[in-house]
Structure 1
C-alpha cells in the first residue's frame, strides 16, 4: 500500500470544502484528476472514505478516522519541512499566523509589509478567527503566532502587547446621540445595536456588560464582518460598537459619526500577541514575533 502526501493533502481539502469541485479549485487541479486521486486513495485503504452525492461529499466511518490521522500526518510533514528550512543560513519557511478581525483590519497589513521587506523568504499563512479560537490554536500548536483581544492568557503561552484598540460607537449623522461627544454604555443600550460575530470577544464583553447593567440588548440584526456591520448602521438598522481600527477602516465616510465609548473597559481594550512557550523557536517564527512587537513600540 502506497499513500503519498499529496493525496492526503487533497483528501483533507475535499473534507474541509465538502466538495470535490471546490477542493479542486482550491488546489488548482482538475476535478476529474482529483476524483481519480480519491478513488486511488480509497483503493489503497481498502475501504470507501467518501459518500458522494450531487450536493457534495460526506465522510464514511472509515473516512472520519482517516481524516483525523491524515490531518495529523500532514501537520507533522509540514513541521518537518519548516524545521529543516530553519537550519539553512537564511530566515525562510512558513509561519502560521492566526488573528482576530480587528488585528487584520487595523494593524497587520502595514506591519506584515515591514516584515516582508526584512524577510522576503518567509511566507505568512494568515487565518482569521475569533479571539478564543486564536488562543486555542496557539495552545494546540496549530498556530505559531496569534493575535487576539482575549484578556485571559493561559500560562502555557508567552504574550506581548500588540496594539491599543479602544471601542467606539458608530452611528448615522442624524441619530439623536450624534451630538454627544462621548457616549456611555447606558446611552447606547437605549437603542438597537447591530451585533457582530456571535461568540467573538466583542460579542462576549457586550453581553457581559449588558447583563451587569441588567438591561437587555436590542439586536435587530447580527453580521459577521465589520464592513457589513457599518453598512447596516449606514442603512439605519441600528448603531454599532466597533474597535477603533474598524471604525477607521470602514466608517470613515460622511455617512457615519464616530464617538468614543466612555467606559474604562472600552477605552482600555487592547490586542496581544501570543505564542506557545518554546525554546528555541523556529527562526522565522521568532523573526515575526520580534518584528510585530517592535512595530508596536
Structure 2
C-alpha cells in the first residue's frame, strides 16, 4: 500500500519546521492526529523518519532520503493539479520555461509574447535560473523547456540552436578603454571589473580566458543582475562585462559606453533544451517550433 499524500505533506512540513506541532497547525489537524500519521508512515517504511526531542524533531538518515522523494512527488502533484485546472478552464495546458539571465534580458520576452498572442489557450510559466540550474531542473522533470548557454553537459536532453550573443564591456564616457580601436579582453583585464556572480556561465567563460592569457581576473564587484552591473559602472567602481544586447539597452540609458569584445570566443550560442524521454505534448512542440523559427 502506497503512503497517502496528506501524510507525506505533513512529513515535509515537520522536517522543514523542525516541529510536529507547528506542522500539525499548518496542516489544520491536531497534534495527536499528526503523530499518528507519522507513525503510520514509519510503520509503512519500517524505519524511523523523525527523532523527537523537547526541542522538536530532526530527520534521521531515512528521513533525509524520504524528504527528497516526497518534495519531488509533491511538486509533480502540484504541476498535475495546475495542468488539470488549465484543461478544466478550457486551456490546452501549461508550459514551464527555465531560461538563463541573458535570454530573459534579451530575446525571450518578445519571443514568448508573440507565441502567447498566437496561442492564448497555452499558459506560460517562466523562471530565471543560471544555465547549470536550468539543466538540473529539466532532467528532474520540473520544467518543460530550458534555454542555456552552450558549453554545459546536456546528456539526457535534446538540444536545438536558439540565439547568439556577444560579450561586451561597459565603461564610463572618456574611460581609457573607450579610446582603443579594438576592445580586447587582455586590455580589459588591466582594470577593476564589475560582473555577475561566479555561478553564471559568463563568469565561468571569463575566468577560463583569463587563465589562458595568464592574467588575473580583478573582480572588484560581483552582483546578481545586469542592471546592478551598469549601476556600479555608473558609480565609477570599475568597468562592467555583460552580453552586448542587454548592455546596450541598459548602459546607454545610463550614459555609459558599450563596446563588444573582439575575440571570437566572446560570441556565445544559446540552446533550447528539452528532456529526451518527455511525454508527447502538442503545446511544447508548438513552442519549440516558434522559438526555433
Normalised by the size of structure 2, how large is the TM-score? 0.79
Q: Which residue of 2 aligns with 1:286?
A: 285
**Equivalent residues in 2 for 1:211-250, closer than 5 Å:** 211-250=211-250
CA–CA distance in 1 between the matches of 2:148 and 2:107?
12
Change beyond 3 A, Cα 1:261–1:52: farther
CA–CA distance in 2 between the matches of 1:64 and 1:145?
29
CA–CA distance in 1 between the matches of 2:149 and 2:126?
17
Write out per-residue CA displacement over residues 31-78 of structure 1, whole angstroms, 9 at most, x where no aligned residue: 99636469565552137699999xxx9953375344323223224435
Normalised by the size of structure 1, how large is the TM-score? 0.78
| Larger Rg over CA atoms | 2
Q: Which residue of 1 aligns with 2:97?
A: 97
Native 8 Å contact 1:194 1:219 kept in 2: yes
The size of the alignment, in residue pairs, is: 278
Native 8 Å contact 1:181 1:260 kept in 2: no
Q: Quick one: higher RCO (CA 8 Å, sep 6+), 1 or 2?
A: 1
Native 8 Å contact 1:147 1:273 kept in 2: yes
CA–CA distance in 2 between the matches of 1:58 and 1:258?
55
Change beyond 3 A, Cα 1:206–1:194: same
Q: State the 1:208 CA deviation.
A: 0.4
Q: State the 1:19 CA deviation.
A: 10
**Equivalent residues in 2 for 1:32-43, closer than 5 Å:** 34=26, 36=28, 41=34, 43=36
1:166 match: secondary structure: strand
CA–CA distance in 2 between the matches of 1:3 and 1:169?
55
Write out per-residue CA displacement over residues 136-189 of structure 1, whole angstroms, 9 at most, x where no aligned residue: 222332221000113245342211121111111101113111223530011101
Q: State the 1:123 CA deviation.
A: 2.4
Q: Which residue of 1 aligns with 2:43?
A: none
Native 8 Å contact 1:83 1:282 kept in 2: no
Q: State the 1:285 CA deviation.
A: 2.0
1:95 match: secondary structure: strand
Change beyond 3 A, Cα 1:110–1:52: farther
Native 8 Å contact 2:10 2:27 kept in 1: no
Change beyond 3 A, Cα 1:63–1:189: same
**Equivalent residues in 2 for 1:98-137, closer than 5 Å:** 98-137=98-137
1:165 match: secondary structure: strand
Gaps of 5+ in 2: 40-48
Write out per-residue CA displacement over residues 104-134 of structure 1, whole angstroms, 9 at most, x where no aligned residue: 1112211111122222232222222111221
2:38 pairs with 42, 45, 53, which one? 45
Q: State the 1:12 CA deviation.
A: 6.5
CA–CA distance in 1 between the matches of 2:212 and 2:113?
42
Q: Which residue of 2 aligns with 1:171?
A: 171
Change beyond 3 A, Cα 1:178–1:10: farther
CA–CA distance in 2 between the matches of 1:113 and 1:52?
54
Gaps of 5+ in 1: 21-30
2:179 match: secondary structure: coil
